[in-house]
Amino acid sequence: DEKIPGVHIAFGHPYAEHTGANWISKTHIDCVGRDFDIWFDGEQVMRSGEFLV
């Protein structure tokens, strides 16, 4: 599920009609992970999949 808290990384087709990207791809693969620790600009914003901010 792409809406769970965590990390969502996509490879392939950028959906140019929504993003304005000037390239296309025949495929699109989503990778979703849970229980991540995430830091942004030196501040931890997620620990074990739970938001800290």
Residue recorded with tokens 């990384």: 9
32 in Cβ contact with 4 (< 8 Å):
yes
Per-residue pLDDT tens digits for 9-50: 889 998 888 999 999 899 989 888 888 899 999 999 999 988
Identify the CA nearest to 1 among candidates 45, 33, 27, 28.
Answer: 33
Full-model pTM: 0.54
- Token couple for 19: 């993003």
Give the pLDDT band (50/70/90) at residue 52. very high
Per-residue pLDDT, 47? 93
